[in-house]
C-alpha cells in the first residue's frame, strides 16, 4: 500500500530532465531524425500511390507499414520534443491512457504488418504460380485491416488493465512518454501482478510474431536453396533483404525494452530511444535505399517535377 494516498489526475513525465545540460542538443538531434523519418515514410506512401508500377501487394504492405509508423511516431515524438523545451512536463490521466493505448496498438500493428510482409514474400517465392490468385489487392487490404484490429485489440486490453485502478503520489513517470511499466509502478495497490500480466502479454506477442516471421524465412530459405541458378538465388534473397533487416532491427530493439527484467528508472529513458526514435528512422531508409523500384519511382517524380519548370 502506498503511503501517500492522494488520487492523481495527471502525471509528470520526468523524461530527459535528468540530463538538463544536453536537452537542447537532444532536441536538435531528435527533431532532425523526426523530420527525416516523416519525410521517408510520407515519400514511400506518396511514391506508391503515384507510380502504378508499385501497385503490388509488396508495396501495399510497405506503404501500410510506413503509414502505421508515421502514426506511431506522432503519438510520442512531438510530445517528447515539446517537453525537451518546456519547464512543465505534465500529461493528464486521459491523455496518458490515450498515448499508451496508441503506442501499444501501433507497435503491435507494426509487428503484424511485418508478419504480413514476410508471408507475402513466402507466397511469392514458395508459391509463385498461385501468388497472383492468393495475394490480390483486396486480400492485402483485408489483411492490413486485420493487423490494425489485432494490434489495438491487444493494446486496449493492456491499457484497461493498467488504468482500471487509481494512482497515488508521487506522480512522476520516469520516462519521456506513458510507458506501461513506468506508469504501473504508480498504482495505489500492489502493482506486481498487473505488471507481470501486461509484460507477459507484450512479451508473448513480441516473441510469437518474431517466431512466425522466422518460420516463414525457414520455408523461404529451403525453397531458395533449391533454385538451380545463382542469379535466381540472388534475386530471391534481394527481395527479402530489406524486410529481414528491418525485422532484426525492430525486434532487436523491442526485446531490449520488453525482455528487460524490471524497470530501472532513468535508464529506461535512454533504453527506449532506439525503439521509439531510431527504428522508425531507419525503416524507411532501408526500404528505400535497398529497393530499385523505389529508386526508379523517385527518379520519375523528380523527372516530372523538373519538367514543370522547363
Nearest Cα residue to 96 out of 173, 202, 4: 173
CA 17 to chain centre: 25
At 242-297, the pLDDT tens digits run 888 899 999 988 888 777 665 444 457 788 888 899 999 998 888 876 667 666 66
Q: Given this model, what pLDDT does residue 262 score?
A: 58
Q: First CA to last CA across the chain, in angstroms?
A: 73
Sheet holding 172-173, edge to edge: 90-92, 10-13, 172-173
| Residue pair 217/195 in contact by the 8 Å Cβ criterion | no
C-alpha cell at 211: 517466431
Q: Given this model, what pLDDT does residue 302 score?
A: 60
Look-up: residue for cell 520526468? Answer: 14
Cis peptide before 162 (omega within 30 of 0): no
Q: Given this model, what pLDDT does residue 295 score?
A: 66
Distance CA 242, CA 269 (A): 28
Look-up: residue for cell 533449391? Answer: 226
**Which domains, and CATH codes, for the chain?**
10-305 (1.20.1070.10)
Q: Given this model, what pLDDT does residue 61 score?
A: 93
Q: Given this model, what pLDDT does residue 264 score?
A: 43
Q: What is the pTM of this model?
A: 0.89
Q: Given this model, what pLDDT does residue 98 score?
A: 94
pLDDT along the chain (310 residues), means of 10: 61 84 90 94 86 83 94 94 88 92 94 94 90 90 95 92 81 88 80 80 89 93 84 78 89 82 58 89 82 67 54
Cis peptide before 26 (omega within 30 of 0): no
Between strands 172-173 and 10-13, the pairing is parallel
Look-up: residue for cell 500493428? Answer: 109
Amino acid at each position: 500500500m502506498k503511503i501517500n494516498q492522494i488520487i492523481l489526475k495527471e502525471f509528470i513525465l520526468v523524461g530527459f530532465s535528468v540530463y538538463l545540460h544536453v536537452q537542447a542538443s537532444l532536441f536538435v538531434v531528435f527533431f532532425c531524425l523526426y523530420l527525416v523519418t516523416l519525410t521517408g515514410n510520407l515519400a514511400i506512401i506518396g511514391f506508391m500511390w503515384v507510380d502504378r508500377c508499385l501497385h503490388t501487394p509488396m508495396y501495399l504492405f510497405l506503404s501500410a507499414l510506413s503509414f502505421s509508423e508515421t502514426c506511431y511516431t506522432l503519438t510520442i515524438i512531438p510530445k517528447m520534443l515539446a517537453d525537451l523545451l518546456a519547464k512543465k512536463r505534465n500529461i493528464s490521466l486521459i491523455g496518458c491512457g490515450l498515448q499508451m493505448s496508441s503506442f501499444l496498438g501501433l507497435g503491435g500493428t507494426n509487428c503484424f504488418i511485418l508478419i504480413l510482409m514476410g508471408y507475402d514474400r513466402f507466397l511469392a517465392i514458395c508459391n509463385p504460380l498461385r501468388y497472383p490468385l492468393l495475394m490480390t489487392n483486396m486480400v492485402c487490404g483485408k489483411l492490413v485491416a486485420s493487423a490494425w484490429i489485432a494490434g489495438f485489440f491487444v493494446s486496449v486490453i493492456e491499457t484497461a488493465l493498467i488504468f482500471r485502478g487509481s494512482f497515488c503520489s508521487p506522480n512522476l513517470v520516469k520516462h519521456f512518454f506513458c510507458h506501461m511499466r513506468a506508469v504501473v509502478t504508480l498504482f495505489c495497490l500492489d502493482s506486481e501482478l498487473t505488471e507481470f500480466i501486461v509484460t507477459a502479454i507484450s512479451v508473448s506477442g513480441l516473441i510469437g510474431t518474431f517466431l512466425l516471421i522466422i518460420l516463414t524465412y525457414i520455408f523461404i530459405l529451403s525453397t531458395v536453396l533449391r533454385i538451380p541458378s545463382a542469379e535466381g538465388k540472388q534475386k530471391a534473397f534481394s527481395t527479402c533483404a530489406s524486410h529481414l533487416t528491418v525485422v532484426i532491427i525492430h525486434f532487436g530493439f523491442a526485446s531490449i525494452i520488453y525482455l528487460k527484467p524490471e524497470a530501472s528508472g532513468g535508464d529506461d529513458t535512454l533504453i527506449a530511444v532506439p525503439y521509439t526514435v531510431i527504428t522508425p528512422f531507419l525503416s524507411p531508409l532501408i526500404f528505400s535505399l535497398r529497393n530499385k523500384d523505389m529508386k526508379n519511382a523517385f527518379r520519375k517524380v523528380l523527372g516530372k517535377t523538373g519538367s514543370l519548370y522547363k
